[in-house]
């Protein structure tokens, strides 16, 4: 099922890039870009605020420094650099919505960027979710209309 999800995601990316002046991207090239994006480096939290998880999960913590957010594990290991506009982890979810420059993507708790940060809106598709299968998302990308 994971392979199916990557193929569907790749197909959607190809369609979204079809009107772009950039070169066409093959499914193989897109699949190769799906990798672990966690940086796993020590961090000093003196200048950061830890965002309290309303669901009391302690495996990951979202941190804030000025108006940017990052992700840490075990209160001392930086996983996502402090460069995102928002990072949200829905209740009972094994993924995070990350937003940068008003575009959103999805990263799993293993650090896999399953949906690139290039969509205006992403939501979880609970209607298509089946037990034991990969998460499904509905994505929206609005093409620049010149208005």
Domain limits of the chain?
Answer: 1-34, 35-140
Task: Give residue-wise pLDDT tens across range 47-101.
Answer: 899 998 888 777 899 999 999 999 999 888 999 999 999 999 988 888 999 999 9
Q: How confident is residue 29, by pLDDT bands cut at 50, 70 and 90?
A: very low
Q: How confident is the model at residue 111 (pLDDT cuts 50, 70, 90)?
A: very high
pTM of the model: 0.70
Of all helices (H) and strands (E), which one includes residue 138?
strand 137-140
pLDDT digits (tens, 9 = 90+) for 41-57: 999 888 899 998 888 77
Average pLDDT, the chain: 78
Q: What token pair was written down for 34?
A: 């799906």
3-state SS of 17-44 is HCCCCCCCCCHHHHHHHCCECCCCEECC
Contacts for 51 with CB less than 8 Å, ≥ 6 apart: 61, 62, 63, 64, 69
């Amino acid at each position: 099922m994971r392979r199916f999800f990557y193929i569907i995601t790749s197909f959607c990316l190809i369609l979204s890039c079809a009107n772009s002046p950039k070169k066409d991207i093959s499914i193989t090239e897109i699949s190769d870009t799906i990798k672990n994006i966690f940086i796993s480096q020590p961090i000093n939290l003196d200048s950061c605020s830890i965002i309290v998880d309303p669901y009391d999960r302690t495996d990951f913590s979202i941190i804030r420094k000025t108006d940017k957010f990052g992700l840490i594990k075990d209160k001392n290991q930086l996983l996502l650099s402090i460069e995102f506009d928002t990072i949200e982890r829905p209740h009972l979810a094994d993924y995070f919505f990350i937003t940068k420059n008003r575009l959103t993507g999805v990263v799993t708790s293993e650090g896999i960027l399953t949906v690139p940060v290039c969509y205006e809106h992403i939501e979880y598709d609970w209607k298509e979710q089946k037990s034991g299968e990969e998460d499904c998302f509905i994505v929206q990308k609005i093409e620049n209309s010149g208005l």
